[in-house]
Chain A
């Protein structure tokens, strides 16, 4: 076990949030505090990754109380990767916010809420304690709710209400599950739960019931069929920056929680949970992609695609092998980069192409060829076109699926890939190739803040394209660590 000041990932966004409250009304200063905080997060994240790679998982018992009495922060490779990607997406989002977030939202405290969101996400990725995880989910839920509704438009309020109601129901189920865990095992620490199960402590019925409650809660947070209704109801309504960051990060916290729960703690319940999760994954893929095929609005299409891709990630978990888990982890990171960038592209299309309704956009291929290029990199990657990062993700997953003889799953995953590509070409064909319709709203100029984050994320995607080995190696380490029963 190596030493690393894990608390830094909590202190950076928290102190940024406090500073931002105090800086209220001074927008320029706020923007740069927000950007620096996220930049610092991602840089520290890479240091953490290297530390974990060199000398294994890092732990920190908050308050000096040895787990399970106190709350343990623990960063294995998966946590380290997730925190780092949070920093990267947070950084890009903070830059994008400079260009995109209107002054009235900044006055209402946008940047502070944004940092609180990062605070919650980082906490969720680092904690090794089920109730503490619940707290971080609360932090995320409340800040994300405010961020969705901040613009005050009717659609935003409607979306936000659906978002918050369904998520609170899920949180309630989570809390019930956490309570059952404590009643059954007398502990809240993930690793400790796993150890106690391995030692034969805790009743069978308590174990199973806690497992299903957590499965339901995290599946809803991840946006899994049939619990994803909150996502397409809300993700297209907030400001573009928020859509993009949510699209990248939030559902992944649910995925992360599913992975954490069913490897570190409830490995024993895999035989019961995973067959169910496998079918759920397939339905998620299919219904998500069909939803996307039926839409004609950029962000709605992209939102449904999140769901569809979530299905791939849970499929990898449900297969239950180390290789499949590696694929899932690689998939998660790839998807965060690509999806965020596609939402950034949607923002640029909205501004320069005349809106989000594909019927009323067009002509961008000629007027903004660079945007076409950036969009294409992410869109084709999402569609799994080789050799872009999405191809490696899909290859790793399908290879494992076929290797296990899960023919139906492999077939569905491949067919869904084709429909994914189809919806991407829909945006491409309408917004870029098609001539600009007469009734299109006039183009508005793009700010550098719209462009720079897209270039950063596209570069990251291209690095994963030609040099996937780095991320695959990290994913492999992460998967291996999750498969070795950890010691408290």
Chain B
């Protein structure tokens, strides 16, 4: 088994290094790539004997234990049969492809993808673990997508590739679900174990789901009605691809998996009915559609579809005879279909057309090709002594003994087989018949390398036809045994004596020949039949896809409409909904805390509400800004009233600065315009009122719940503030020590905001706004000259005493910024500085805050721990002060605040030339 796996790895390596190999050894590229599959093929032949005796080569290793995926390979009779086809035909295709695509720009990608495909397909055939099989399975779909799209300049090829990927991809996803369920029902993903647990799976309640999913997966892959349409379209791929993927190997993957899972899922009524009927329908439809075609490759594609239907039908019938017929037909079909495809490719090259009505007379110019074509066509027609004959005999025998459906499937089978004869004649004989004119042959087609594949395969079909035991007693028996789990006793013979089956065979050939003779009439009739359908399956697929895209476009337009107002509305609606859901599912009460219903806070609340409404109603920006200032003032008053002087002070300073900055900005904006209609505003009003009510009720409900007895962090903080953090002002201690990390983040936010404003206010910025403001009156200047130092001094005092009394870096910084702001406004004759100084202040402040966190590390203490100097210093206006790293941190805050305010201010004062600004 190691030999086989090394072969797989070699193919994989070949895939990766191919672009390089192709460059260096172009003429030998095809041959070189054929080495690995040839070696694998020969090794497989040596294993045929042991496998027939039941000595199964296997190998397993770990891969993803968390998901129960083991790299397990197991080459049983069924796997061997498929592997032989893949490696044997693959070897020939690579040689053929090298010659076929000589000089084409598609040659390199062809070899990359076809080797990837071969690897994947051999993986499917040899996997012993369902999920590993699935991985390879999906890889075949992917390789098929890339190969169908080789002629990627053509829209047709791209569309065909997408159809194939979509159909097989959908099947793949279903299969994945099916496999996962199978693992649940059967207790393992190991195929060998599953095959022995068939009864458990069949009796599981999951069986119907598993069945549907697996069947969907395999039917899409093997082009069963109604998922067949991708296969004929896939003929957009270059001929070597069609010959390999879409006749001999990939489409057989579905059949292979059905056979593999036969012991697990088969034997039920639903299996029998579904497979038999779908298979029969596909078989007939493929045959009829084939009659309507004139393109060689499409003709072959539809006959392949018919053959796939036959195989599924046989697995549905499920008797030993039927399974044997299926296994044999799997080989037979590959042996004639692959050479016919390759021949079609050469014909196309030679004559420049694939239209059978245009093709004739190639025989005398290309005798070897004609010979191979004839051999393959005879085999396909089921004429003795070719292997196709044995296949057909067995097929009829299985159909006649098919139990309940015997009559139906025999009749349909007869029709399909007769049409098969016609197709064989059209493809294998007609183009070569001499009808009295010689045509120009493209010299490129006269390449002997192109003939190797067809001739070898056609001859092989003849030899095994004469000596069927080569196949029958070893390979086929081993494969049948794997499917039915019994020792098979059907033996392959060329001659069964004169019986009904032989007569049926003879009539089939006769009818086929008649259909061939009247081919033009028959084609016309078939076309009429085809036109009875309103649309082809491909058209329906395209229409469905287009409908999905249209639907998605309208849904998306509906959700992603671009209206910010409605986006916010959706969030608020969700908020209300969630609050209602939460309150509906838990017990709650509503009690308004007594502290809130006193006169002063109610008055402040009124101020906030009135200011807010004024801001909304106002049409003047200045008025709106002032009103918002009123809201801020109210909040500051509330802080002060409920005993948080630090917060109140900070809030107040922030409000003042904001007011000034906003005044500077909004001077340049036009008046507020109403951009929504009155009714929209009413709806918004209702919605925001409801959302506000929901939040209020939620907050009150939380507050009304029984309070915690103890364990509030704030209590701990108050207790630790002075003894452990050397500060009497708990608020400041929280900011610079207990939760200094928050503050570090917040000053970063400030820095980003300041720098962001500076960065986003674009334009020239050459005009100094101060000249226009004309506030630098002599009185203003004079007062500023003495006010600025005073304010700066006060700000420093605030900074220093902040740890013990209201104040701190934030408040201090804001005050200092106000002072510097006044100074800047007054000094309208001195030019404004650039961004440099404010940026240095910001960087310096951030550094101070960051550095303050570090000293503790040198003393084996935690990051950001306070590190205090011994003793304390008495300072005027401040009192006794201790110095430590938290103070350094606060200094950092102080400078960041100053830097940010200055940066924004400087930028706002240097505006660009006035221009019309539109409010969006």
Q: Is B702 an interface residue (CB 8 A)?
A: yes
Q: Which residues of B contact A442 (CB under 8 A)?
A: none
Task: List 20 contacting pairs A-B, 8 Å CB cutoff, sorted by A.
Answer: A7-B864, A21-B755, A62-B862, A63-B865, A119-B748, A131-B739, A146-B759, A183-B702, A209-B583, A226-B570, A287-B556, A385-B138, A387-B135, A387-B139, A403-B184, A418-B170, A419-B548, A434-B153, A435-B153, A469-B66
Docked-complex contact A108 and B759, CB < 8 angstroms: yes
Known A139-B748, A272-B585; judge A226-B579 contact (CB<8 A): no
Q: Which residues of B contact A71 (CB under 8 A)?
A: 739, 741-742
Question: When chains A and B are docked, how far (Å) is the Cα of A135 from the Cα of B750?
Answer: 11
User: Which of B105, B177, B752, B846 has the most chain A CB within a 10 Å cutoff?
Assistant: B752
Q: Which residues of A contact B578 (CB under 8 A)?
A: 212-213, 215-216
Question: When chains A and B are docked, how far (Å) is the Cα of A183 from the Cα of B176?
Answer: 49
Tell me, rounded to whole Å, the shortest Cβ–Cβ distance linking A377 to chain B.
Answer: 12
Docked-complex contact A113 and B756, CB < 8 angstroms: yes
Q: Is A246 an interface residue (CB 8 A)?
A: no
Question: When chains A and B are docked, how far (Å) is the Cα of A226 from the Cα of B698?
Answer: 22
Contact among A184, A205, A207, A417 for B583, CB-based, below 8 A: A205
Q: Is A473 an interface residue (CB 8 A)?
A: yes
Q: Is A256 an interface residue (CB 8 A)?
A: no
Q: Which residues of B contact A407 (CB under 8 A)?
A: 209
Docked-complex contact B755 and A109, CB < 8 angstroms: yes
Q: Is B169 an interface residue (CB 8 A)?
A: yes
Q: Is B522 an interface residue (CB 8 A)?
A: no
Of residues 199 through 215 on chain B, the ones whose CB sits less than 8 Å from some CB of chain A are 209
User: Which of A131, A176, A208, A411 has the most chain B CB within a 10 Å cutoff?
Assistant: A208
Q: Which residues of A contact B751 (CB under 8 A)?
A: 21, 116
**Which residue of chain A is the closest to B742 with respect to CB atoms?**
A135
A residues lining the B interface (CB < 8 Å): 5-7, 10-11, 14-15, 17-18, 21-22, 24, 60-65, 68-71, 73, 108-109, 112-113, 116, 119-120, 123, 127, 131-132, 135-136, 138-139, 142-143, 145-146, 149-150, 152, 158, 161-162, 165-166, 169-170, 173, 176, 179-180, 182-188, 196, 201-213, 215-216, 220, 226-227, 229-230, 232-233, 272, 276, 287, 289-291, 293-295, 304, 326, 365-366, 369, 380, 385-387, 391-392, 395-396, 398-399, 402-403, 407, 410-411, 414-415, 417-419, 421-422, 425, 429, 432-435, 468-469, 472-473, 476
Known A62-B862, A71-B739, A183-B702; judge A139-B586 contact (CB<8 A): no
Pairs of residues from A and B, 5 with the lowest C-beta to C-beta distance, nearest first: A203-B705, A186-B712, A290-B552, A433-B152, A135-B745
Q: Is B624 an interface residue (CB 8 A)?
A: no
Known A138-B749, A146-B752; judge A229-B586 contact (CB<8 A): no
Docked-complex contact B864 and A64, CB < 8 angstroms: yes
Known A65-B738, A398-B177; judge A220-B571 contact (CB<8 A): yes
Contact among B19, B713, B846 for A69, CB-based, below 8 A: B713
Contact among A386, A410, A425 for B135, CB-based, below 8 A: A386
Question: When chains A and B are docked, how far (Å) is the Cα of A469 from the Cα of B588?
Answer: 48
**Which residue of chain A is the closest to B757 with respect to CB atoms?**
A146
Question: When chains A and B are docked, how far (Å) is the Cα of A61 from the Cα of B611?
Answer: 43
Q: Is B594 an interface residue (CB 8 A)?
A: no
Contact among B138, B152, B180, B863 for A5, CB-based, below 8 A: B863
Tell me, rounded to whole Å, the shortest Cβ–Cβ distance linking A113 to chain B.
Answer: 7
Tell me, rounded to whole Å, the shortest Cβ–Cβ distance linking B83 to chain A.
Answer: 20
Q: Which residues of B contact A291 (CB under 8 A)?
A: 552, 555-556, 559-560
User: Which of A18, A63, A165, A210 has the most chain B CB within a 10 Å cutoff?
Assistant: A63
Q: Which residues of B contact A182 (CB under 8 A)?
A: 713
Of residues 140 through 183 on chain B, the ones whose CB sits less than 8 Å from some CB of chain A are 142, 145, 149, 152-153, 158, 161-162, 165-166, 169-170, 173-174, 176-177, 180-181
Docked-complex contact A434 and B158, CB < 8 angstroms: yes
Docked-complex contact A132 and B759, CB < 8 angstroms: no
Docked-complex contact A123 and B745, CB < 8 angstroms: yes
Known A120-B745, A149-B760, A365-B152; judge A206-B702 contact (CB<8 A): yes
Tell me, rounded to whole Å, the shortest Cβ–Cβ distance linking A114 to chain B.
Answer: 11
Docked-complex contact B177 and A433, CB < 8 angstroms: no
Size bin of chain B's contact surface: 35 or more
**Which residue of chain B is the closest to A201 with respect to CB atoms?**
B708
Docked-complex contact A170 and B571, CB < 8 angstroms: yes
Tell me, rounded to whole Å, the shortest Cβ–Cβ distance linking B844 to chain A.
Answer: 9
Q: Which residues of B contact A11 (CB under 8 A)?
A: 850, 853
Docked-complex contact A63 and B862, CB < 8 angstroms: yes
Question: When chains A and B are docked, how far (Å) is the Cα of A67 from the Cα of B64?
Answer: 39
Known A204-B586, A386-B138; judge A287-B64 contact (CB<8 A): no
Docked-complex contact B174 and A165, CB < 8 angstroms: no
Docked-complex contact A402 and B67, CB < 8 angstroms: no
Known A63-B865, A116-B748; judge A165-B568 contact (CB<8 A): yes
Docked-complex contact B760 and A62, CB < 8 angstroms: no
Q: Which residues of A contact B711 (CB under 8 A)?
A: 186-187, 196, 201
Docked-complex contact B839 and A24, CB < 8 angstroms: yes
Contact among B135, B695, B759 for A109, CB-based, below 8 A: B759
Docked-complex contact A395 and B67, CB < 8 angstroms: yes
Question: When chains A and B are docked, how far (Å) is the Cα of A120 from the Cα of B556?
Answer: 32
Q: Which of B447-455, B471-479, B714-722 contacts A (4 or more CB under 8 A)?
A: B714-722
Q: Which residues of B contact A65 (CB under 8 A)?
A: 720, 737-738
Docked-complex contact A63 and B737, CB < 8 angstroms: yes
Q: Which residues of A contact B740 (CB under 8 A)?
A: 62-63
Docked-complex contact A63 and B152, CB < 8 angstroms: no
Q: Is B134 an interface residue (CB 8 A)?
A: yes
Q: Which residues of A contact B571 (CB under 8 A)?
A: 166, 169-170, 173, 216, 220, 227
Q: Which residues of A contact B562 (CB under 8 A)?
A: 233
**Which residue of chain B is the closest to A372 with respect to CB atoms?**
B109
Tell me, rounded to whole Å, the shortest Cβ–Cβ distance linking B900 to chain A.
Answer: 12
Docked-complex contact B749 and A139, CB < 8 angstroms: yes
Docked-complex contact B861 and A208, CB < 8 angstroms: no
Docked-complex contact A472 and B66, CB < 8 angstroms: yes
Docked-complex contact A212 and B864, CB < 8 angstroms: no
Q: Which residues of B contact A411 (CB under 8 A)?
A: 177
Docked-complex contact B699 and A142, CB < 8 angstroms: no
Question: When chains A and B are docked, how far (Å) is the Cα of A289 from the Cα of B556?
Answer: 10
**Which residue of chain B is the closest to A471 with respect to CB atoms?**
B66
Contact among B158, B161, B169, B567 for A229, CB-based, below 8 A: B567
Q: Is B582 an interface residue (CB 8 A)?
A: yes
Question: When chains A and B are docked, how far (Å) is the Cα of A476 from the Cα of B64?
Answer: 13
User: Which of A11, A210, A291 has the most chain B CB within a 10 Å cutoff?
Assistant: A291
Q: Which residues of B contact A166 (CB under 8 A)?
A: 564, 567-568, 571
Q: Which residues of A contact B535 (CB under 8 A)?
A: none
**Which residue of chain A is the closest to B548 with respect to CB atoms?**
A293
Q: Which residues of B contact A132 (CB under 8 A)?
A: 739, 741-742, 745
Docked-complex contact B695 and A162, CB < 8 angstroms: no
Docked-complex contact B748 and A227, CB < 8 angstroms: no
Question: When chains A and B are docked, how far (Å) is the Cα of A132 from the Cα of B746?
Answer: 10
Question: When chains A and B are docked, how far (Å) is the Cα of A188 from the Cα of B586?
Answer: 22
Question: When chains A and B are docked, how far (Å) is the Cα of A295 from the Cα of B556?
Answer: 9
Tell me, rounded to whole Å, the shortest Cβ–Cβ distance linking A352 to chain B.
Answer: 17
Contact among A146, A209, A272, A410 for B702, CB-based, below 8 A: A209
Contact among B153, B564, B698, B842 for A21, CB-based, below 8 A: B842
Docked-complex contact A205 and B586, CB < 8 angstroms: yes
Of residues 60 through 97 on chain B, the ones whose CB sits less than 8 Å from some CB of chain A are 63-67
Docked-complex contact A433 and B716, CB < 8 angstroms: no
Docked-complex contact A212 and B699, CB < 8 angstroms: no
Tell me, rounded to whole Å, the shortest Cβ–Cβ distance linking A144 to chain B.
Answer: 10
Tell me, rounded to whole Å, the shortest Cβ–Cβ distance linking A18 to chain B.
Answer: 5
Q: Is B790 an interface residue (CB 8 A)?
A: no
Of residues 530 through 586 on chain B, the ones whose CB sits less than 8 Å from some CB of chain A are 548-549, 551-553, 555-557, 559-560, 562, 564, 567-568, 570-572, 574-575, 578-579, 581-583, 585-586
Docked-complex contact A380 and B574, CB < 8 angstroms: no
Question: When chains A and B are docked, how far (Å) is the Cα of A212 from the Cα of B706?
Answer: 20
**Which residue of chain B is the closest to A402 with respect to CB atoms?**
B180
Docked-complex contact B64 and A186, CB < 8 angstroms: no
Docked-complex contact B695 and A212, CB < 8 angstroms: no
User: Which of B174, B698, B865 has the most chain A CB within a 10 Å cutoff?
Assistant: B698
